Amino acid sequence: MDEFFNPALIPQETTLFAIWLLGVSLGLTACTVTCLPFMGTWVLGRGGSQMQALRDTALFVTGRIIAYSLLGAIAGGAGLWLSEAMRGGTGNAVIGLASIAAGVWLLRADKPHSPCSAVRGAGSTPPLLMGFSLSLTPCAPLASLLAVCATAGSVRLGMTNGMVFGLGAALTPLLILLPLISLLGKNLRDNREWITRWIRWGAAAVLILLGLRRLLLVL
């Protein structure tokens, strides 16, 4: 996507409010389309409570904010080098690995010998990683953010811009859709113990296939 690396997408002077709105534009549009297959599959396959779905959603959003803050800081210190580096498919590689890791977690969590405490503790990692990795998806709003941070020429300002952008991107329909998907999964499992394992295995397979597809894009 050529527009991803075009600094002319942004005005010369950009306020924090404008950067926040840019993040909102991403969160309300492309974020939902890109992230729902990954996080929706995870929430459905995990089969947790509504509270667990909310925690996973919060972790996913936190991962995005951390990623944008880090990207902003790097762009502020390294200039447009980061945009060129991401052009090589780094984002797709990280997304693929995170998705495969989430699928493997679902398979391991289904094993009877897995310690319950260890499974619950590690379960917070996949949504955080997917939130972080999916933030690396090339798109015009992210291009604008990196260009703003590169122009700022400061790691501190770049991190601030990235964090504000991430807070805007956190306003996404996924905050509503993911708990609803969790509720759907709960209704499917009620009085149907046999279906729980099939849903988990199916979700794991989908996540692994989504991850492999992303990795193939890098080749």
Report pLDDT digits (tens) over 156-171: 999 999 999 999 999 9
Give me the pLDDT at residue 113, please: 47
The Cα-based distances of 157 to 135, 146, 148 in angstroms read 19, 12, 10
Query: pTM above 0.75?
Result: yes
Domain membership of residue 53 as a residue range? 2-218
- Decide if pLDDT at 4 tops 70: no
Scored b (16 or more CB within 10 A) or e, 113-142 reads eeeeeeeeeebeebbbbbbbbbbbbbbbbb
Q: In sequence order, what DSSP letters do the residues of 109-170 get, joined into one string?
A: HTSTTS-HHHHHHHTTHHHHHHHHHHTTS--HHHHHHHHHHHHHT-HHHHHHHHHHHHHHHT
Structurally, the chain folds into a number of domains equal to 1
**How does pLDDT run across 51-86, given as a tens digit for each residue?**
899 999 999 999 999 999 999 999 888 876 766 666
DSSP 16-65: HHHHHHHHHHHHTTHHHHHHHHHHHHHHHHH---HHHHHHHHHHHHHHHH
Digit-coded pLDDT (tens) for 159-208: 999 999 999 999 999 999 999 999 988 888 887 777 888 999 999 999 99
**Based on the number of CB atoms within 10 Å of its own CB, is 6 exposed (0-12), middle (13-18) or buried (19 or more)?**
middle
